[in-house]
């Protein structure tokens, strides 16, 4: 799952699982797969050398093992492997600063470790224009980044910004 907006884009190592389940999904293989697929996707959009940041899982990216070893044991090896493939990736970067740095233009994409780590900043800054891109499928799939909003259906209050952003993004992918 990649959430994309004009302001911030994030790809997720895990999505709709519990936080405990998300921690179990932090593996070198999943990290590397997210980095690779994000890099490939951004190249398809015309970014010749995407700049990717990987968020840490633990506070302060684990503080060299003080707050957990996931960064040392799984995330850093994936980053080194991606760098050896020529991918411009940095990290792990503490979750409390990586999204700010991406917003300042330092990165084109942030690899988030779990659902809310990536969703909260993206929706906070671009709720009405963020779209969901499903990567790794044999077909192109984009959709609005929220559910069907049954709570406001037929009330005349729904906004169409996400739909228009989704159509525009899909058009960019079809042209590239």
Which distant-in-sequence residues (6+ apart) come within 8 Å of 53 by Cβ? 89, 90, 91, 93, 98, 101, 102, 106, 107, 109, 110, 111
Q: What does the pLDDT average to over 126-153?
A: 85
pLDDT reported for residue 176:
61
Of 117 and 161, the one with more pLDDT: 117
Residue 21 has pLDDT above 80, yes or no: yes
Residue range 35-76, pLDDT digits in tens: 999 999 999 999 999 999 999 999 999 999 999 999 999 999
CB-based contact 145:162 (threshold 8 Å): yes
Residue range 98-130, pLDDT digits in tens: 999 999 999 999 999 999 999 999 999 998 889
Domain 2-129 adopts which CATH fold? Isopropylmalate Dehydrogenase (3.40.718)
């Amino acid at each position: 799952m990649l959430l994309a907006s004009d302001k911030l884009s994030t790809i997720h190592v895990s999505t709709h699982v519990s936080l405990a389940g998300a921690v179990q999904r932090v593996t070198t293989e999943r990290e590397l797969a997210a980095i690779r697929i994000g890099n490939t996707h951004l190249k398809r959009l015309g970014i010749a050398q995407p700049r990717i940041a990987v968020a840490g899982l633990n506070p302060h990216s684990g503080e060299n093992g003080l707050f957990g070893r996931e960064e040392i044991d799984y995330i850093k090896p994936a980053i080194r492997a991606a760098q050896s493939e020529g991918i411009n990736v940095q990290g792990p970067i503490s979750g409390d600063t990586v999204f700010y740095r991406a917003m300042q233009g330092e990165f084109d994409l942030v690899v988030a470790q779990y659902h809310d780590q990536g969703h909260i900043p993206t929706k906070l800054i671009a709720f009405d224009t963020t779209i969901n891109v499903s990567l790794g499928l044999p077909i192109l799939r984009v959709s609005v980044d929220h559910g069907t909003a049954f709570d406001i259906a037929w009330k005349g209050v729904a906004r169409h910004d996400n739909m228009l952003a989704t159509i525009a993004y899909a058009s960019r992918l079809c042209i590239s």
